[in-house]
Amino acid sequence: MRNGINTFLAKLRSFWTKKPVRIVTVVLCAVVAIVLALAVVYSLWEQPPEVVTVTPTPAPTAAAVSETEAPQSDDTDDADDFDGALVTDRSNGQYTFLIAGTDQSSGSTDTIIVGRMDTVEHTLNCVSIPRDTLVNNGWSNNRRINAVYWYSDTGAEALKKQITNLLGFEVDCYAVVDLDCFVDIVDIMGGVYFDVPIDMNYDDPTQDFYVHISAGYQLLSGEDAIKVVRFREGNNGSGYANGDLGRIETQQAFLMSVASQMLNLKNIPNLTDIITAITENTDTDLTAANIAFFARQFLKCDSDSITFATAPTGGVLIGGQSYVNLQVDEWLEMVNELLNPYSEPVTTANVNIINFNGSTVYSTSGYVAGSDDFFYGSSESEDTAGDTDTAESAGTSDASDTAEPADTAEQPESAEE
């Protein structure tokens, strides 16, 4: 009897001794199962954006047109009729995008970046298009690329069309981000460490815009970050020697710092909140699932596989206002190397790019939109190929826009520094 009781007690002690281990094992298995289930659900939820698959009509032959030879239409945007964009077999796993930055006071998109993400080779290429780039439209006397979004009736669609004219193909997706959303995203990330390249001191009470940030490596909040990427010229005339190109370089360096910090962490801090901020506060055709897809693909890249570049341009004055011409041959080489997702190269037959040298208008599409008074009514040019700021600085010397807008009656006051 006593032996039986002892045996029972021994089994009971053994059961209670091992039970915690069994409970922990069961809990761990449940956690792993839940995590795996969430991973499967997430992978099923996220999805890439739809890619462009339309077929274009043949494009007209490129031609140089003069004041008397150019086919014109009064105050219409003939660029909308151009349909020479390249569409052929696409390279596997490549997606193109447009990101533009705007603000509430001016509405201009002074930051414009087009890019291509390769989800097979895990590369990311981004190219900045200078804000003063001349575009072939006839519905406004301000023919800079940064005015398209604000002036047009269709906003992002009009901007996408002009980007298509410059690229020779349609981008797959876009996002127009205002300054407040940019600030929110940086703050959601907990700030960004960045090496500010120069001392930045600027005061503009008319725009309620004040910048006082010292050069050097530091943690930038959202408010400080937006001041850094907007700054161009200070109170005493100091700033970037190359004008707006210097600002573009700083913007690209800042984005590279953001990318490097995320890649080092192998994580995007508070990604869910960032996705919410983008989908709820930007003009975009991206869904939350699309953004999640790009985020996961981005984390497969490394810093060496991310490239930033700036479109090659040369400065020109039109009606006393500063513009830049895209240097067509160099630009198409850049497009095909960094941005083109198709198997065939982009050529001049696929783009609708317009240049003006002070006496002659050149259009790759063979026509110029709008009245020729825009070019020949009052114009002068400078031999500044490859130097955007030389033409810009002839217009103004303050810290805001490099020149007064071509249409001062329509252009809202710019808050872009």
Q: What is the pLDDT along the chain (417 residues), one digit of tens a residue?
A: 656 666 655 655 565 555 554 544 444 444 444 433 444 444 445 788 888 765 443 444 444 433 334 434 334 454 556 666 666 688 899 999 999 998 766 789 999 999 999 999 999 999 999 999 999 988 788 999 999 998 888 999 999 999 999 999 999 999 999 888 999 999 999 999 999 999 999 998 888 889 999 999 999 999 999 999 999 888 888 889 888 899 999 999 999 999 999 998 888 889 999 999 998 889 999 999 999 999 999 999 999 999 999 999 999 999 889 999 999 999 999 999 999 999 999 999 999 999 999 889 999 998 898 888 888 874 343 333 333 333 332 232 233 333 333 333 333 333 344
Nearest to 101 by CA among 88, 114, 111, 116: 111
Its pTM stands at 0.77
Alpha helices, H only, 321-402: 328-334, 373-376, 388-393
What whole-number distance in Å separates Cα of residue 153 and Cα of residue 151? Answer: 7
Name residue, tokens 């590369």: 123
Q: Which residues of 3-22 are buried (b: 16+ CB within 10 A; e: fewer)?
A: eeeeeeeeeeeeeeeeeeee
Give CA–CA dist 348/276, Å, rounded. 40
Helices (H) and strands (E) in the chain, counts: 11, 16
pLDDT number for residue 1: 60
Three-state SS at 61: coil
**Could you give the angle at the alpha carbon of 197 between the alpha carbons of 193 and 202, nearest 5°?**
100
What is the pLDDT, as a whole number, of residue 138? 84
Confidence at residue 63, expressed as pLDDT on a 0 to 100 scale: 46
Please give the Cα distance from 82 to 354 (Å, whole number).
13
> What pLDDT does 336 receive?
97
140 close to 369: Cβ distance less than 8 angstroms: no
Contact 169, 87 (CB under 8 A): yes
Query: CA 169, 170, 176: angle at the middle one, nearest 5?
Result: 135
Long-range contacts of 223-228 (CB under 8 A, 24+ apart): 223/183, 225/182, 225/183, 225/186, 225/191, 225/192, 225/194, 225/254, 226/179, 226/182, 226/183, 226/186, 227/200, 228/194, 228/196, 228/200, 228/254
Which tokens sit at 165? 């004219």
Residue 283 dihedral angles phi and psi, to the nearest 5°: -90, 105
8 Å CB contact between 159 and 148: yes
What is the per-residue pLDDT for 377?
Answer: 75
Q: What's residue 28's pLDDT? A: 45
Helix (H, G, I), strand (E, B) or coil at 410: coil
C-alpha distances in Å from residue 52, one per residue of 87, 136, 173, 341, 349: 8, 23, 9, 10, 19
Residues near 365 by beta carbon (within 8 Å), at least 6 away in sequence: 59, 60, 62, 79, 82, 84, 136, 165, 351, 352, 353
Nearest to 352 by CA among 53, 137, 147, 68: 137
* Tokens representing residue 253 in the block: 């360096």
H helix runs in 240-399, sequence order: 244-265, 271-281, 288-298, 328-334, 373-376, 388-393
